[in-house]
Chains A and B, each alone.
Chain A
Amino acid sequence: MISNGPSVLVIVPAYNEEGAVGHVVKSVREVVGDTPIAVIDDGSQDATAEAAAAAGAEVFRLPHHLGLGGAVQTGYRFAFEQGFDRVVRVDGDGQHNPSDIPTLLKAMDEGGYDVVTGSRYLRPNHDPIQPLRRFGSWIFSWVLYPILGRRITDPTSGFVAVNRRALEVFSRSFPLEYPEIEALVVLKRKALSFHEVPTKMFPRYSGRSTIDTWTAMYYMVRVLLGVFVNVIKYERRYHTGQRG
């Protein structure tokens, strides 16, 4: 259970996850108790919203599909506007282990970090990981090293806890597609601190990933370009807060 203290919101971005999202909400509920859980239904064509609501989550239905980053940012925007102190993001496909949520929050409290991410590679004898994902993580770790000045073991991890300082940044500016890696560069640019903790990852609870080989290649190029753009990004538009 999460102890009393700063207010926490758990957000679950979900797109066509009717088979998994109910299980995710119930699993998270067992760990976080009365902590609110917000499922962001990213324009699903199936019964994701109904499954999430039936499991006891607050459901935010986007009028059309924005992409993962757009869904996650909806949760961040809502949390920031409602005054939440911390947000934990758990993906709606069931890959993240809710039992690790207190680990993320504890690391944030003890280390004073703005963002804490769960890394599947920091666990000793971690479960087998798809070669393509492992290769992608290795490439991005290598690319990010000179930018961040440190090694990130799991740059594609979406299992994240953020505090209010990071919420303020992300509620205004967050990458739309494949956001995790670009978000790390945003953190660096905004001088926010971050940390990785070992967490367990499961296979998808149901359904199958939409990322095939071609999508993975697009992902690599798209993210590399996004990282480059974030390194050279012009800041004025962000500071003026024109985007809501």
Chain B
Amino acid sequence: MERIRVATAVFCVVLLLQIIRAVRREHIRVEYSMAWFGAAALLLVLSFSASVLDWLSRTLGIDDPSLVLVLIAGLLFLVTFFHASVQISDLKDNNIVLAQKVGILEWEVKRQASEIEGLGAAAGQPRRKAPGETRERRL
């Protein structure tokens, strides 16, 4: 077995163990670990499959089957990173909407607190200060 295939297999085992450890400790959610599990498992299987690597190298016109392993590893990581970027973009979009709604709701809460305070003052009740109140005008 070529050294690069051994190194790849060892790396994949370590990566799989690391993914399992991260999932167990909830550092990564199960659904987001799927892509990494798949990539590591596929590379591990390929590193033990000389016949598949030989066939791929002949098909792709690459002289050294080990290079096929490196190529596949690179492509897998590119796909995984792209998948992560899509997820990050989705989360960022959601985060923007949330931040905007928090800003609007916070304003609404303060406005209502001011109104309640105004009603209380009109009824002669003790003044109740609105949290963080700074506003002077109302929409």
Using a CB–CB cutoff of 8 Å, the interface residues on chain A facing chain B are 9, 36-38, 40, 49-50, 53-54, 56-64, 66, 70, 73-74, 77-78, 81-82, 176, 243-244
Question: Quick one: closest A residue to B106, CB to CB?
Answer: A61
- Give 1 or 0 for each of B103-139: 1 = CB within 8 Å of chain A CB: 1101100000000000000000000000000111111
State in angstroms the CA–CA spacing of A158 and B23 once bound together. Answer: 46
Distance (Å) between the CB of B47 and the closest chain A CB?
A: 38
Contact check, B134 vs A54: say whether CB atoms are below 8 A apart. Answer: yes
Given known A54-B134, A59-B107, A61-B106, contact A74–B100 (CB-CB < 8 A): yes
Query: Does B101 interact with chain A (Cβ within 8 Å)?
Result: yes
Contact residues in A for B134 (Cβ distance below 8 Å):
49-50, 53-54, 59
Contact check, B137 vs A57: say whether CB atoms are below 8 A apart. Answer: yes
State in angstroms the CA–CA spacing of A38 and B138 once bound together. Answer: 10
Q: Which residues of B67-122 are within 8 A (CB) of A?
A: 93-94, 96-97, 99-104, 106-107
Task: Tell me if A's interface is mostly helix, strand, loop or mixed.
Answer: mixed
Contact check, B103 vs A62: say whether CB atoms are below 8 A apart. Answer: yes
Given known A36-B137, A53-B134, A53-B136, contact A63–B97 (CB-CB < 8 A): no
Cβ-defined partner of A58 (8 Å) among B94, B96, B139: B139
Question: Quick one: closest B residue to A176, CB to CB?
Answer: B96
Contact check, B103 vs A61: say whether CB atoms are below 8 A apart. Answer: yes
Contact check, B139 vs A60: say whether CB atoms are below 8 A apart. Answer: no
Cβ-defined partner of A70 (8 Å) among B94, B100, B136: B100
Distance (Å) between the CB of A74 and the closest chain B CB?
A: 4
Contact check, B100 vs A62: say whether CB atoms are below 8 A apart. Answer: yes
Cβ-defined partner of B104 (8 Å) among A57, A64, A74: A74
Which of A37, A54, A244 has the most CB atoms of chain B within a 10 A radius of its CB? A244
Contact check, B102 vs A63: say whether CB atoms are below 8 A apart. Answer: yes
Distance (Å) between the CB of A13 and the closest chain B CB?
A: 12
State in angstroms the CA–CA spacing of A59 and B96 once bound together. Answer: 18
State in angstroms the CA–CA spacing of A78 and B99 once bound together. Answer: 13
Contact check, B103 vs A63: say whether CB atoms are below 8 A apart. Answer: yes
Contact residues in A for B94 (Cβ distance below 8 Å):
243
Cβ-defined partner of B93 (8 Å) among A40, A49, A243: A243
Question: Quick one: closest B residue to A82, CB to CB?
Answer: B139
State in angstroms the CA–CA spacing of A56 and B138 once bound together. Answer: 9
State in angstroms the CA–CA spacing of A9 and B94 once bound together. Answer: 26
Question: Nearest 9 CB-CB pairs, A to B?
Answer: A53-B134, A244-B97, A74-B100, A60-B103, A62-B103, A36-B139, A60-B107, A78-B104, A63-B102
Distance (Å) between the CB of B27 and the closest chain A CB?
A: 23
17 inter-chain pairs at a CB distance below 8 angstroms, sorted by A residue, are: A9-B139, A36-B137, A36-B139, A49-B134, A53-B135, A58-B107, A58-B135, A62-B100, A62-B102, A62-B103, A73-B96, A74-B104, A78-B104, A82-B139, A176-B96, A243-B94, A244-B100
